[in-house]
Amino acid sequence: VGRRGQVGLFGRGFGGQGQSLGLVFGTGQSVQMDMVKSGFVGSTVELRCLFINSKPPVKISQVTWQKFYNGTKQNVAIANPALGVSVLPPFKDRVSFKHPVRQTTPSLEDTTIIFNGLLLSDEAAYICEYTTFPAGNRENMVNLTVYARPQSQMTLTMPTIIAQKHDKMRVATCLSANGKPPSDIKWETQLKGEPTFQESRNPNGTVTVRSDYILVPSRETHGQKLTCVVTYQTERFADTVMLNVQYEPDVKIKGFDGNWYLNRQDVKLTCEADANPAVTVYQWKLLNGSLPKNVEIRNNTLIFRGPVTHELGGTYVCDATNSIGTRSGLVEVNVTEFPIHPSTGPKMSQEQQSSGAAIWGAVGGVALLVGGAVLLFFFLRRRQRTFKGDYSTKKHVFGNGYSKAGGLPAHPPMPKNLQYPDDSDDEKKPTQIGAPGGFDGVERDFDGNSEDLKRPYFTVDEGESRDYDERTLAFQYDPESEINDDMVSQTDGSVISKKEWYV
């Protein structure tokens, strides 16, 4: 008989787990057994053994169960029709035949044995041997595997973990002990740590698996969940713990909104500290000075009685202390003459401010588009009015000397200066312009109320004296009469005919 999977002394066939396999000889006798059986420590398992007799049947004189381990056979139980049943130590209290064996009615075709309270040491190959007459011995073998469920647990390194400065430490251990086969361990958590794994084999054949979870304890890791999942064959074990990390206070001072102005009422500063364990002592101080006289210290709050004055300005410091250490927070308070923004009336939320900004932005965009359209309309309108028809129809009345029709304007020479009569106290009138009668030879009376004098066709160049006798007029010229009647002035100093204007 060999070990697991080996062929017995008398030969054996092959089959699958849970199948019966018999040895068939030429005379027709065979022993049927399961190839493999398994059970957990402490459980009960049956090792089946059936004898298939021949016709005519042979006589069964004895059946012997043996344990085959490390090349050595050890008797477990013997059934004899004449002598009865014998179970040998160390199996006497745990092994029995499933069916009774009596001398009066011996029945040895089914000699199945029952193992109670399996032990890890029971794992071995077991041989069922029949002694017959006159055919001789017949036997078969089954391999028994004993499994051990592990003892799994998860523990914290210590009930309370103290945060250290950037130092990694083991915060939890997951253990799956004395398992056979070994378990698989995984961690489920949102913490950013590193697991370690270690396997150790025990003398009884079991395996202990250990995994430690290592991280840097901090304020952020406090209260976080850590779950260990142990998978053993088809079974799953999970255990969850919550980290209790102690850390120094994280201090912030609230209450200063950037709008402390003179005579403002009911202002205060509050020292807020995130700490584990809780803060036991708060201390307030003002850098480079003493706290104002009108301040009331109420645990973690500074209450300023009366109106705000310049005395309240400065850097305020709050020291918060717990059993782990002391940390500080500070705030710079500035006092202004007037409110930076209105202190009364409902304040818009951030969403309302964003909505208002979006609405005013849209309104501004529409207004910009409308303004651009109006400017474009006036530009095009003005351009249309400035020039209608061919440019050659324009007549320039100013002295630029150019027109698209070409040539200089044919006007008689003009005197450089015009003198007023000395004996005139009334409004000064030019006695003559150019040749007698004006440009066209027609005599004209220059009345102070006439339209000719109201036209800006001349400039006055005044000297230091205010005397009209000393004043000179630099005269340009008067447009021709037909231009006044038939032409329309343009913005570029030219005129075009009314006929062209109304085209």
Q: What are the tens digits of pLDDT across the range 440-460?
A: 444 444 444 444 444 443 444
Average pLDDT over residues 452-471: 42
**42 pLDDT exceeds 80?**
yes
What pLDDT score does 45 carry?
97
Q: For 450, which DSSP code?
A: S
Residue 457 exposure: Cα atoms within 13 Å on the Cβ side: 16
What letter would DSSP give residue 98? S
pLDDT digits (tens, 9 = 90+) for 69-84: 999 999 999 998 888 8
Spatial contact of 243 and 226, defined as CB atoms under 8 Å apart: yes
- Bigger pLDDT: 32 vs 495: 32
Q: How far is CA 477 from the centre of its chain?
A: 83
| Cα distance between residue 157 and residue 356, in whole Å | 55
Q: What is the mean pLDDT of the chain?
A: 76
The token duo for 240 is: 């969850």
At 444 the pLDDT is 44
Confidence at 305, pLDDT banded by 50, 70, 90? very high
Residue 162 DSSP one-character state: E
pTM of the model: 0.55
| pLDDT above 80 (res 478) | no
CA angle, residues 190, 193, 197, in degrees to nearest 5: 115
The pLDDT-based confidence of 246 (bands split at 50, 70, 90) is very high
The pLDDT value recorded for residue 313 is: 94
Question: CB within 8 A of 436, min separation 6: which ones?
Answer: 443
Yes or no: say if 224 and 240 are a contact pair by the CB < 8 Å rule.
no
User: Cα(144)–Cα(37) distance, rounded to whole angstroms?
Assistant: 5
Residue 490's pLDDT is what? 65
Please name every residue paired with 176 in a beta bridge, in sequence order, or none if there are none.
Answer: 152, 209
**Of 158, 160, 152, the residue nearest 172 (C-alpha):** 158
Q: Tally Cβ neighbours within 10 Å of residue 17.
A: 10
The larger pLDDT score, comparing residue 187 to residue 488, is at 187
- Work out the average pLDDT over 176-199: 95
Query: pLDDT value at position 486?
Result: 60
Q: Does residue 483 sit in helix, strand or coil? A: helix
**pLDDT for 16:** 33
Q: Is the pLDDT of residue 209 over 60?
A: yes
Mean pLDDT on 88-93:
92
Retrieve residue 116's tokens.
């109670």
Strand partners, 464: none
Measured distance CA(250)–CA(292) in Å, rounded: 26
476 or 260, which is more confident: 260
- Considering only CA atoms, give the Rg of the chain: 60
CA-CA distance, 123 to 146, in Å (whole number)? 5
Average pLDDT over residues 415-423: 47
Which of the two residues, 184 and 500, has the higher pLDDT score?
A: 184
In the chain the domains, ranked by start, together with CATH numbers, are 20-147 (2.60.40.10), 151-243 (2.60.40.10), 247-336 (2.60.40.10)
DSSP character at residue 110: B
Confidence of residue 29 (pLDDT cuts 50, 70, 90): confident
Q: Is the confidence at residue 498, as pLDDT, over 50?
A: yes
* Weakest-pLDDT range from 45-49, 172-176, 271-275, 394-398: 394-398
pLDDT category of residue 392 using cuts at 50, 70 and 90: very low
DSSP 8-state assignment for residue 135: T
Residue 227 has pLDDT above 60, yes or no: yes
Give the residue, 211 or 406, on which the prediction is more confident: 211
For residue 149, what are the CA distances in angstroms to 13, 120, 173, 203? 32, 11, 19, 16
The helix (run of H) or strand (run of E) holding residue 356 is helix 350-386
Q: Identify whether the C-beta of residue 290 lies closer than 8 Å to the C-beta of residue 332.
A: no
Angle, alpha carbons 179-2-61 (nearest 5°): 110
Phi, psi of 210 (to 5 degrees): -130, 135
Closest among 286, 250, 281, 290 to 269, alpha carbons compared: 286
Q: Which of the two residues, 3 and 443, has the higher pLDDT score?
A: 443
Q: Indicate if the pLDDT at residue 5 is higher than 50.
A: no
Q: What is the pLDDT of residue 485?
A: 54
pLDDT-based confidence at residue 287 (cuts at 50, 70, 90): very high
Question: What's the confidence (pLDDT) of residue 357?
Answer: 52
| Mean pLDDT of the region 94-114 | 81
Whether the Cβ atoms of residue 237 and residue 149 lie closer than 8 Å to each other: no
Give the 3-state DSSP-derived string for 363-379, with helices as H, strands as E and coil as C: HHHHHHHHHHHHHHHHH
Phi then psi for residue 326, to 5 deg, are: -125, 135
Nearest 5°: the CA angle 87, 90, 94 is: 65
Strand order in the sheet with 95-97: 45-47, 113-115, 95-97
Confidence of residue 368 (pLDDT cuts 50, 70, 90): confident
Give 250's pLDDT tier (boundaries 50, 70, 90).
Answer: very high
Between CA 463 and CA 465, with CA 464 as vertex, the angle to 5 degrees is 90
Instruction: Tell me if 299 sits within 8 A of 277, measured CB to CB.
Output: no
Q: Which residue has the higher pLDDT, 260 or 158?
A: 260
* Torsional class of 110: left (φ above 0), alpha (ψ -120 to 50), beta (otherwise): beta
Q: Kindly report the backbone phi and psi dihedral angles of residue 358, in degrees, each rounded to the nearest multiple of 5, phi listed first.
A: -65, -40
Planar angle of CA 368, 370, 374, nearest 5 degrees: 115
pLDDT at res. 344 = 45
Q: Regarding predicted confidence, which is higher, 66 or 163?
A: 66
Dihedral angle sign, alpha carbons of residues 344, 348, 353, 356: negative
Beta-sheet strands, E only, within 190-266: 194-201, 207-215, 225-232, 235-242, 245-254, 260-261
Confidence of residue 65 (pLDDT cuts 50, 70, 90): very high
The span from the CA of 459 to the CA of 476, in Å, is 8
Tell me the two tokens of residue 369. Answer: 């588009």
The more confident residue out of 11 and 101 is 101
More confident residue, 437 or 320: 320
